[in-house]
Amino acid sequence: MNIVLKQEALRAEIAATKAQLQQVSDGDILGRIGMEQRLEELQSELNEIENIHQTIAESVIYFGGAPVQGSSGISAMFAAEALRKYQDLVTVVLASDRCGDSLSESGPLPCRNESTLHITGTPRGSFGFCLQEIVSQRPLTDSAPESAVERANQLISAAKIEDADVLEESISKEHSRVLTVLSDFFRTLKNYGATARILSRDTDVVLNKNLVDIAVMNTDIIKMESKPVIVNGIFQGATIVSRNFDFIADSGVVIEGKISKEIADELIHIMDVEYTGKRCTINTVRTETTKQGSKRPKHRWLLTDIKPLD
């Protein structure tokens, strides 16, 4: 069974058993003992599953609202579109992590095949889909799609919070295409009058119609724009492992950012040794994230080239 689904089933059975235990009379000693033992067994099984290090991507999505006819059926058109938008979100999150700001603003997304999720089942009792990464052998460490699924679900959760600052802070770390696809996912739910619940290893996101409306509004009022910027100033150093750089512009602005993945580690070492403390010109891509009504945009910098001025 899908691990996420197994966790959900155990939590539901634990809750039901606790409710039944409260109804047991004080005189039914054997009944109480038996139920307490069952509760311990369930809790032990849940703890065991939660301690398993999940390394492949798994997510369960339940849908409700207008496209769903009880437990009888779901609109095929809606299900296909909603699942495609969710898959697109996982893919663009992985592409954003893999490519950073070098990801193009349009066109086919890289990592499409690597991030593909498959429908492996449908949960009983309501209309939903078990989505899973298919691998020939379970990896020892987190797969890239597994991390992308968790990140995608975290962004979905951030978008539904009424305070748009939460989403602004979270989305500012991503490529601008992530915001576009996230908005598309919520707009699909809204257009069809749908609700959803999304479960994965670390997240449980409930989206009723009110929260879908909030998410649509939040993704609409936040704008992201990337553009090339050339800056003169003093280079403060770079690190190979984190691929971070520090720079003080002639204007006094302190710039902290990432180094493009197209720049080899050997060149980062040369930057750090030869350019630190010297006046340089840096070519960057600056991504500005702005919430409507805010006068303090968030900036993310990507270093693409550097040249000494002295």
Query: What confidence tens digit (pLDDT) does each residue in 228-241 have?
Result: 999 999 999 999 99
pTM of the predicted structure, to 2 decimals: 0.74
> Which helix (H) or strand (E) element contains residue 87?
helix 76-99
Query: What confidence tens digit (pLDDT) does each residue in 32-90 have?
Result: 777 778 878 778 777 766 666 566 788 999 999 999 988 788 999 999 999 999 999 99
Among candidate residues 225, 250, 265, the one where a domain is terminated: 225
Domain count, the chain: 3
Assess whether 114 and 186 both reside in one domain: yes
Assess whether 66 and 191 both reside in one domain: yes
Assess whether 142 and 42 both reside in one domain: no
- In this prediction, residue 121 carries a pLDDT of 84
Angle at 247 between CA 245 and CA 250, to 5 degrees: 165
Q: How far apart are CA 175 and CA 32, in angstroms?
A: 55
- In this prediction, residue 139 carries a pLDDT of 52
Assess whether 89 and 211 both reside in one domain: yes
Sign of CA dihedral 105, 112, 169, 221: positive
E strands within 192-296? 194-199, 204-207, 222-238, 244-249, 254-259, 279-291
Q: How far apart are CA 170 and CA 265, in angstroms?
A: 28
- In this prediction, residue 49 carries a pLDDT of 66
- In this prediction, residue 89 carries a pLDDT of 96
Q: How far apart are CA 95 and CA 88, in angstroms?
A: 10
Half-sphere exposure (Cβ direction) of 55: Cα atoms closer than 13 Å: 10
Q: How far apart are CA 70 and CA 75, in angstroms?
A: 11
Of 132, 88, 127, give the one whose Cα is nearest residue 111.
88
Among candidate residues 182, 208, 225, the one where a domain is terminated: 225
Assess whether 302 and 242 both reside in one domain: yes
CATH number at residue 257: 2.40.50.320
Assess whether 36 and 135 both reside in one domain: no
Whose tokens are 């603003």? That residue is: 105
Whose tokens are 């305070």? That residue is: 163
Assess whether 63 and 190 both reside in one domain: yes
- The burial of 98, by beta-carbon neighbours within 10 Å (0-12 exposed, 13-18 middle, 19 or more buried), is given as middle
Domain, as residue range, for 117:
58-225
List of the chain residues with pLDDT < 50: 137, 140
SS3 helix, strand, coil % of the chain, rounded to 5?
45, 25, 30
Assess whether 92 and 217 both reside in one domain: yes
Q: Which residues pair with residue 306 across a beta bridge?
A: 282
Assess whether 27 and 77 both reside in one domain: no
Among candidate residues 200, 225, 250, the one where a domain is terminated: 225
Q: How far apart are CA 105 and CA 109, in angstroms?
A: 10
